[in-house]
């Protein structure tokens, strides 16, 4: 008999992390639009210098000192400390290059406790359009694959089937799933082959008033008990139609199961309302790099994520926040900087770091309403990076051939801090020096102690060069989490 989803199958060695090393929660922040790594998380000062014979004025140096869209002008607007070096050494990559955290990450650099538990992952794929790259980054699977499911769906399924029965509040949430409709950001909530119970609760933070109204179920009002009883009758009738005469169990029917799950969720909506405090729906203003906006969508989303992940009785296991920026970048989203690369990236990344660091306990701080890095894995994900050279005099184009994501906290300690892979002076990451989006997702599940190899999730072939499921788990754990089993 097959093991339940997420359980270690019989006959496979103990290749999951020890329970005490596993993360209990995941906060995933999706930097929508494609983050430029050169000024943020992967600055190699030796590459792209003006006197470089092969790649002059590229990567970090492309807009250094330039009159239009310069790094310096962006830093001045962001009150970057005078005299502070643009780069802070982080680690050495697979090619032996010194990797620094760039100038736009200066707010993150101030939190040495977070930096000391961070692992930067070089990734690559071959999809330049957002429409293909976004869902691949969020699910680990290419567009069109029926099994593609968001990380939150895997986690919701696992915990719905393994934790104490009777919990009615979701285990997984997705905030600010909006954006350009064709970019498929909604893939974060895809369920693939999972049943309906695996679907995370998706909330558009820009329409929280409407969401709050729906939680109150005003459309049925005082007739709510009668409505729920009637739905129970309909579901029971449907269920009986799915049974062979004389059989106690219904046949497998995804539609029947999904209907029952949907009806149950509607009936138990009070459980959702119970963890969603009214204060979460209050508008939050934001200021970054000298520019203010009356509504800070990433800030509101992270405030809600903090509340859900630290809830005293029904904490979330997974929350995804889509960082669309304090202000939309020139190409859309928070980081799609086809022009104004320096200004837009500096402002939106600084805004993200200001909000993120404010909800994570600092050393010596023990605020139960803030995230604890010992039990929460934070993932900074994005669909691709930006080109090393310029576009439109002040921007950068799409670049999936060598970009970075980051894992912080959870099972990653100072011993695992560092860089996996490498981006070369040509701005390309070779296959042997990069992880795939699938390996990123596999690693996240392994960090939680969830077995990722199943028809609803991933195959051995999703981990480069792996000959078996057991070895795939070992290899992904070492590459993504830096832990040797």
- The mean per-residue pLDDT over the stretch 370-386 comes to 98
**CB of 383 closer than 8 Å to CB of 336:** no
pLDDT score, position 1: 46
Kind of pairing between the strands at 385-386 and 398-399? antiparallel
3-state DSSP helix/strand/coil percent for the chain, to nearest 5?
A: 35, 15, 50
- What's the pTM? 0.92
Is the pLDDT assigned to residue 174 strictly greater than 70?
yes
Averaged pLDDT of the chain:
91
pLDDT score, position 176: 67
Alpha carbons 348 and 289: distance in angstroms, whole number: 9
The residue ranking higher by pLDDT, 29 or 282, is: 29
Percent residues over pLDDT 90 in the chain: 72
The 10s digit of each residue's pLDDT in 250-260 is: 676 667 767 77
Tell me the sheet residues that pair with 379. Answer: 28, 407
- The mean per-residue pLDDT over the stretch 265-279 comes to 75
The residue ranking higher by pLDDT, 68 or 212, is: 68
Is the pLDDT assigned to residue 94 strictly greater than 90?
yes
Name the burial class of residue 43, with classes exposed (0-12), middle (13-18) and buried (19+) by CB atoms within 10 angstroms of its CB.
Answer: buried
Alpha carbons 158 and 26: distance in angstroms, whole number: 14
Tell me the sheet residues that pair with 99. Answer: 91
Mapped onto helix, strand or coil, the DSSP state of residue 446 is helix
Strand ranges for 12-68 from DSSP E = 25-31
- The mean per-residue pLDDT over the stretch 427-439 comes to 96
Residue 392 — φ and ψ, nearest 5°?
55, 35
Closest CA to 423 of 396, 467, 386: 386
pLDDT score, position 47: 98
Residue 342 — φ and ψ, nearest 5°?
-65, -50
The DSSP annotation for 309-352 comes to HT-SSS--SEEEEEE--SS--TTSTTT--SS-HHHHHHHHHHHH
**CB of 111 closer than 8 Å to CB of 139:** no
Three-state helix/strand/coil letters over 424-470: CCCCCCCHHHCECHHHHHHHHHHHCCCCCECCCCECHHHCCCCCCHH
- The mean per-residue pLDDT over the stretch 358-386 comes to 97
């Amino acid at each position: 008999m097959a093991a339940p989803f997420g359980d270690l199958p019989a006959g496979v060695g103990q290749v999951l992390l020890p329970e005490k090393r596993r993360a209990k929660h995941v906060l995933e922040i999706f930097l929508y639009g494609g983050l430029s790594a050169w000024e943020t998380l992967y600055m190699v000062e030796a590459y792209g210098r003006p006197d470089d014979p092969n790649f002059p004025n590229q990567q970090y140096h492309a807009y250094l000192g330039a009159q239009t869209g310069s790094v310096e002008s962006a830093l001045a607007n962001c009150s970057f400390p005078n005299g502070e070096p643009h780069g802070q050494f982080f680690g050495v990559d697979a090619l032996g290059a010194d990797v620094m955290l760039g100038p736009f990450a200066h707010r993150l650099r101030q939190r040495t406790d977070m930096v000391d538990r961070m692992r930067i992952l070089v990734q690559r794929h071959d999809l330049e359009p957002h429409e293909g790259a976004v869902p691949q980054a969020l699910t680990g699977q290419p567009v069109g694959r029926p099994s593609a499911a968001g990380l939150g769906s895997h986690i919701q399924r696992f915990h719905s089937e393994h934790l104490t029965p009777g919990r009615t509040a979701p285990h997984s949430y997705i905030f600010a799933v909006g954006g350009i409709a064709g970019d498929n950001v909604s893939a974060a909530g895809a369920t693939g082959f999972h049943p309906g119970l695996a679907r995370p609760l998706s909330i558009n933070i820009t329409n929280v008033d409407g969401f709050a109204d729906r939680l109150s179920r005003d459309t049925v009002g005082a007739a709510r008990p009668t409505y729920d009883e009637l739905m129970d009758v309909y579901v029971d009738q449907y269920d009986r139609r799915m049974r062979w005469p004389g059989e106690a169990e219904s046949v497998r029917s995804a539609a029947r199961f999904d209907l029952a799950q949907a009806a149950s969720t509607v009936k138990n909506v009070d459980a959702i309302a119970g963890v969603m405090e009214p204060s979460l729906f209050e508008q939050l203003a934001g200021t970054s790099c000298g520019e203010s906006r009356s509504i800070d969508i990433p800030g509101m989303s992270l405030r809600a994520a903090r509340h859900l992940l630290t809830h005293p009785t029904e904490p979330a296991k997974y929350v995804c926040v889509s960082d669309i920026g304090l202000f939309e970048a020139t190409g859309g989203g928070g980081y799609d900087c086809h022009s104004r690369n320096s200004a837009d990236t500096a402002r939106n990344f600084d805004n993200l770091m200001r909000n993120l660091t404010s909800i994570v306990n600092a050393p010596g701080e023990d605020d139960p309403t803030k995230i604890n890095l010992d039990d929460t894995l934070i993932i900074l994900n994005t669909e691709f990076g930006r080109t090393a050279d310029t576009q439109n005099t002040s921007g950068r184009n799409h670049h999936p051939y060598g970009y970075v994501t980051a894992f912080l906290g959870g099972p990653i300690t100072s011993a695992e801090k560092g860089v996996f892979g490498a981006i070369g002076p040509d701005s390309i990451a070779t296959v042997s020096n990069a992880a795939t989006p699938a390996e990123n997702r596999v690693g996240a599940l392994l960090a939680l102690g969830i077995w990722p190899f199943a028809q609803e999730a991933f195959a051995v072939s999703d981990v480069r060069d792996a000959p078996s499921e057991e070895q795939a788990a070992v290899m992904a754990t070492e590459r993504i989490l830096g832990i040797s089993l």
